[in-house]
Structure 1
Amino acid sequence: MQEQKISMLPEVFSKNLKLNLGCGNKKKTGYINIDSSSHCNPDLLLDLKNIPYPFKDCSVREIIMKSVFEHLPADPEIFFGIIQEIYRICQHKAVIHVECPHPTHRWQIIDFTHQKAIHPEGLRLLSKKACTKDISKNSTSSPLAFMYDVDFEMKEYSCEIDPKCISHIENLFGSFDRSKLESYAYLLKDVASKQKFKLIAIKE
């Protein structure tokens, strides 16, 4: 079953919508809470692979995707089909909040349902501005924003520290120097844990 309670959601077909994709049991007031599982009783039962979504072009102004991206299919065509559909329903300057495990953290691999590792350098390639810059430098990076005709600017990025890593780094190096966090995360696994992204849809 793809959709549920459509008749109860006249706002589905309106403008300025706010979506909580993959809501699970973390529903939010003022949002259309969407999930592929009926067990959490979402406002709308929808598998993100089932395209198109029941929303008009440019009808959504905000999307929350917490612990969703890592569950999206690894197959590039299916994955980018979902990205294109999210872009279709977004208004210009719609905000997309993404939370997911850092690709080098154990959280990414211990859950057997995780299919897609997400890295900020990868999400950067969903920006046409970033891809244009790479092309001008003869970069070998795939110009994904142009290949799939989407445009998302990354406006904010943050990453939490796994508290368990501090004692392990102290065991190895004698101390934990927070000013060297970027180097720790670059060289060692299980340092960076949860990532948070703020993406902006660009349509003008």
Structure 2
Amino acid sequence: MAELRLNLGCGAKHLPGYINVDRFGKPDVCFDLETFPYPWKDSSVAEIELHHVLEHLGQQTDVYLKIIQELYRICQPGAKVHITVPHHRSDRFFHDPTHVRPITPVGLSMFSKRLNREWQESGKAFTLLALYLDVDFELTHCSYTPSEVWVERYPNEVSDEKLLLRESEVYSNLIRDVDMVLTAIK
């Protein structure tokens, strides 16, 4: 039996081998991702694509957190959730009025029970969302797509991610997109 793979918020970009889901256009499944529960069984999905989608969802915090809970519920153990979003310090994020929430690696790390326990033990002031929501995702990949501004500013250090991250703490518009993978721990 083939593993179930979902391309959530697919828009016009249909991926072969995936069930393409959106509330608009002509997806395989027409569904509003802010409607609960999702129409897939517990622990049934092996892989999820959210390509420039998550920043459009969950303007109200309780809706966003329910989305995370639903993603976790439908993920099988070890399932991968691929997330691509505009960087939160990019004008691309701010220009689109349908972007309702910045999505960051630190924010997604708050859905890790392992990290929640470490933060709790060390007294760090992070919200223990994984423990509160009973979800457990590990951020297993994070990479950055430099912007044209970065390439112009540092043509000889284009691939220096450490410098890119350090400079992006001071300057906006150096990072175009952030690619992340969450792995479901069950």
TM-score, normalising length from structure 2?
A: 0.93
Report the counterpart of residue 196 of structure 1 in structure 2: 179
Following superposition, the deviation at residue 59 of structure 1 comes to 0.5
Report the counterpart of residue 22 of structure 2 in structure 1: 35
Report the counterpart of residue 66 of structure 1 in structure 2: 51
Report the counterpart of residue 169 of structure 2 in structure 1: 186
Q: What runs of 5+ residues in structure 2 fail to find an aligned partner?
A: none
Residue 153 of structure 1, aligned match among 129, 134, 138: 138
Instruction: Classify the secondary structure of the residue corresponding to 1:187.
Output: coil
Distance 2:157 2:50 in 1: 32
Following superposition, the deviation at residue 163 of structure 1 comes to 1.4
Instruction: Classify the secondary structure of the residue corresponding to 2:79.
Output: strand
Superimposed CA distance per residue, residues 149-186 of structure 1 (whole angstroms, 9 cap, x where no aligned partner)? 1110011100011012343x46xxxx865542222111
Q: What runs of 5+ residues in structure 1 fail to find an aligned partner?
A: 1-13
2:101 counterpart letter in structure 1? K
Q: How does 1:34-183 map to 2 (within 5 A)?
A: 34-37=21-24, 39=25, 41-167=26-152, 169=153, 177-178=157-158, 179=160, 180-183=163-166
Following superposition, the deviation at residue 74 of structure 1 comes to 2.2
2:4 counterpart letter in structure 1? L
- After superposition, the Cα gap between the structure-2 partners of 1:142 and 1:197, relative to the gap in structure 1 and judged at 3 Å, is same
1:23 counterpart letter in structure 2? C
- After superposition, the Cα gap between the structure-2 partners of 1:166 and 1:135, relative to the gap in structure 1 and judged at 3 Å, is same
- After superposition, the Cα gap between the structure-2 partners of 1:44 and 1:187, relative to the gap in structure 1 and judged at 3 Å, is same
Residue 7 of structure 2, aligned match among 3, 20, 27: 20
Distance 2:142 2:48 in 1: 16
Count the aligned residue pairs: 183
The structure whose residues are more often helix, as a share, is 1
**What is the RMSD computed on CA atoms of the aligned residues?**
1.7
Instruction: Classify the secondary structure of the residue corresponding to 2:116.
Output: helix
> Structure 1: which 4+ aligned runs deviate by more than 6 Å?
none
Percent of paired sites with the same residue: 36
